[in-house]
Amino acid sequence: MAIAPESAGIDEIARVPARIADELERALSCSREVVDLAVTTFAAGGHLLLEDVPGVGKTTLARALAQAVGGQVRRIQFTPDMLPSDLTGVNVWSQAENRFVFHHGPLFANVVIADEINRANPKTQSAMLEAMGEGSVSVDGVSYDLPDPYFVVATQNPIELEGTYPLPEAQLDRFMACTSFGYPSAEAESHMLTAADWSRPLDRVEQVCSPDIAIRIRSAARRVTIAEPVADYIVALTRATREHDGVRYGASPRASLFLGAMARARAMFDGRSYVLPDDVQQLAVPVLAHRLVLDDAGYGSETLATARAMIAELVRTVPVPRV
């Protein structure tokens, strides 16, 4: 049963992310860890990048999330010949009104699925930067606000696959978190084959809340407290990436802000009003790894795996504060 905005108290609001994750888990065959990360990213007000091979459920996750929060969802299938206006929309002359009328593009939705974003050319990829960073788009000098809440779930296939383009560092830095699904377990894959509704997994997902409640979830997450020692720990981790051997460019100050935002949402997810170092440690890899530019800067899954190993090493070695 969906929560009504006018009747929801702060304690009930804080419990909604866990309920959303429960609904997503019913439709997906990936690990609960990936589901929790997606919901945490949504609650933190960020955007999520999923890197994986086709057919493991990336698009289903985004559609299930939109269904659980009662928002509008639009899917964009990126192709090499796509133009920026295919995303933002265009002004079309209306004979009846004797003026240009703006026709909204697919970016105008609460949840946008940017499917196979690395199949688009760099110019079209860059058209998403303003939308993801500012919550608006500009067309012919006029700015248009995007819906609130706004959440982009972008998927990309491993860069070694034919017909893909690497995302530029500026685009990668706009994603609050990046993760991979991996293949489902043998048991989960077998269950998919025997389930009567295997072709309609979204039928299992019920709406948990409204978009208005989702906005309040994000507001509640921002009010979670980060004590000074934990803030110093976040900064120590991000600064360590800039000094690590083999790293050309480490995590930016934006990465520190994003890691703090994710830790706040994770704490709320667990029913706390304060952040623990454990929250930071759990989220350091998905928040920081995709931002690193390595000295032997190649692209693709092997480079990302190396960066993830580096962040995991820093989590083990950077001193943890006592709080």
pLDDT tens per residue across span 262-273: 999 999 998 899
1-80+109-122+145-223 is a CATH 3.40.50.300 domain: yes
Confidence of residue 56 (pLDDT cuts 50, 70, 90): low
Ranges of each domain in the chain: 1-80+109-122+145-223, 224-323
What's the pTM value of the predicted model, to 2 decimals?
0.89
CA–CA distance, 138 with 145 (Å, rounded to integer)? 9
- At 204 the pLDDT is 81
Question: How far from 204 is each of 101, 128, 197, CA to CA, in Å?
Answer: 39, 31, 9
Above 80 in pLDDT, residue 162? no
Question: How far from 162 is each of 36, 49, 119, 169, CA to CA, in Å?
Answer: 31, 20, 9, 21
Picking from 111, 90, 92, the residue whose alpha carbon sits closest to that of residue 101 is: 92
* Token code pair at residue 254: 């934006």
CA–CA distance, 88 with 143 (Å, rounded to integer)? 11
Summarised one tens digit per residue, pLDDT across range 90-144 is 999 888 888 889 999 999 999 999 988 888 888 888 788 788 888 898 888 889 9
- At 159 the pLDDT is 54
Confidence of residue 196 (pLDDT cuts 50, 70, 90): low
Preceding peptide of 149 cis, ω within 30°? yes
Torsion of CA 279, 280, 283, 285, to 10 degrees: -150
Residue, of 301 and 167, whose pLDDT is higher: 167
What is the arithmetic mean of pLDDT over 143-150?
A: 93
Q: Which of 18-32, 84-98, 221-235 has the lowest mean pLDDT?
A: 18-32
CATH annotation of 224-323: 1.10.8.80
- DSSP string over 143-187: EEEPPSS-EEEEEE--TTSTT--PPPHHHHTT-SEEE---PPPHH
Above 90 in pLDDT, residue 38? yes
Summarised one tens digit per residue, pLDDT across range 229-276 is 999 999 999 999 998 888 888 899 999 999 999 999 999 998 899 999
Above 90 in pLDDT, residue 47? yes
Q: Which of 12-16, 66-70, 210-214, 223-227 has the lowest mean pLDDT?
A: 12-16
Q: Which of 51-60, 151-160, 178-187, 191-200 has the lowest mean pLDDT?
A: 191-200
- At 6 the pLDDT is 47
CA–CA distance, 187 with 11 (Å, rounded to integer)? 36
Q: Are 220 and 268 in contact (CB under 8 A)?
A: yes
What is the arithmetic mean of pLDDT over 276-296?
A: 92
Task: Give the chain's mean pLDDT.
Answer: 85
